[in-house]
Amino acid sequence: MFTKRRFLSLPIKQQHKKCAELLKIAYEGNFKEHLVQYNELLAWLNLPSFHLDNKKEIADAYHRHLDVSDVCFKEHNLLPSIRKGDQTTKSADLEIDIYLDQIRSGHNVGSIIRTTEAFSLGRLYFSEETPFIDNKKVIDAAMDAHHHVQSFQNVPLKNLTRPIIVLETSENAVRLYDFIFPDKFTLVVGNEEYGCREETLRVADYIVEIPLRGHKNSLNVANAFAIVAAEILRQLKLR
């Protein structure tokens, strides 16, 4: 540990770097012992003392010192590490059928596939007008997820799991966060411009919509699907 004289002889950036280093030690070890030393450094800098109660506050103070010292330590040198690679194992798929009703964009389809795989949501069924997993745009957007999701073509919607739940904006729709999803069902998402076909809506058991607060009445279909997928998983995993 520095003496006061030695510490104050350092350039200001070096002083703050030493504060950050001490906070890193405090984060990884004995909070109280090292935070006493840290507050002593703050007193030498004529800065107010800190009463840091948790790791989040220590991390925030750590990065404030790094900003002054112009040192860019990576977040994972202090905070819990962030997983960047794919997982080696996956959870079992949920018992959900997902029907893509005349979605035209291969990029949207690939994004939906990726979301389906990420949540282990279930099986994908493609209508005739929807590009399949052999489409280059689908493959590019799916980022290899199409290899890990069961995908089927030319299966009539009426043959899929009941109830059939359609994601669509409608006066008769139930708000997403008010709807209770069953353990098994079919979720239908429709065309980017026109939504689901009339014949699809006629066989639907429920219509669900995402409540929106802005001027726009709808979201990109892949984004909307991701929101619904997260809510489905949240509900089913709470049971």
List the one residue out of 69, 83, 79, 74 whose CA is nearest residue 28. Answer: 79
Report how many helices (DSSP H) and strands (DSSP E) the chain contains, helices first: 8, 7
pLDDT score of 122: 95
pLDDT score of 109: 97
Cα separation, 163 vs 68, in Å, equals 58
Share of the chain above pLDDT 70, in %: 87
Q: Residue 21's pLDDT band (boundaries 50, 70, 90)?
A: confident
Q: What is the mean pLDDT of the chain?
A: 87
Cα separation, 102 vs 153, in Å, equals 12
How far is C-alpha 117 from the chain's CA centre?
Answer: 13
Cα separation, 212 vs 96, in Å, equals 25
Across 123-131, average pLDDT: 95
Lowest mean pLDDT among 49-53, 145-149, 223-227: 49-53
Sign (positive or negative) of CA dihedral 80, 121, 85, 109: negative
Relative orientation angle of helices 106-118 and 221-237, to the nearest 10 degrees: 10
Query: Using the 8-state DSSP alphabet, how is residue 184 labeled?
Result: S
Of the two residues 54 and 161, the one the predictor is more confident about is: 161
pLDDT score of 77: 52
Q: Residue 75's pLDDT band (boundaries 50, 70, 90)?
A: very low
Please enumerate in sequence order all residues whose Cβ is within 8 A of that of 8, keeping only pairs 6 or more positions apart, or say none: 15, 44
Residue 213: both structure tokens together:
């607060």
Cα separation, 49 vs 75, in Å, equals 24
Cα separation, 193 vs 196, in Å, equals 9
The reply to whether the predicted model has a pTM over 0.75 is no
pLDDT at residue 225 greater than cutoff 50: yes
Query: Using the 8-state DSSP alphabet, how is residue 157 labeled?
Result: G
CB atoms within 10 A of CB 214: 6
pLDDT in tens, 92-101: 788 899 999 9
pLDDT in tens, 162-202: 999 999 988 889 999 999 999 999 999 999 888 999 999 99
Of the two residues 37 and 126, the one the predictor is more confident about is: 126
- Please name every residue paired with 23 in a beta bridge, in sequence order, or none if there are none: none
pLDDT score of 70: 75
Domain boundaries, the chain: 4-77, 96-237
pLDDT at residue 82 greater than cutoff 60: no
Sign (positive or negative) of CA dihedral 31, 34, 36, 39: negative
pLDDT at residue 230 greater than cutoff 90: yes
Q: Residue 76's pLDDT band (boundaries 50, 70, 90)?
A: very low
CATH 3.40.50.300 fits 96-237, yes or no: no
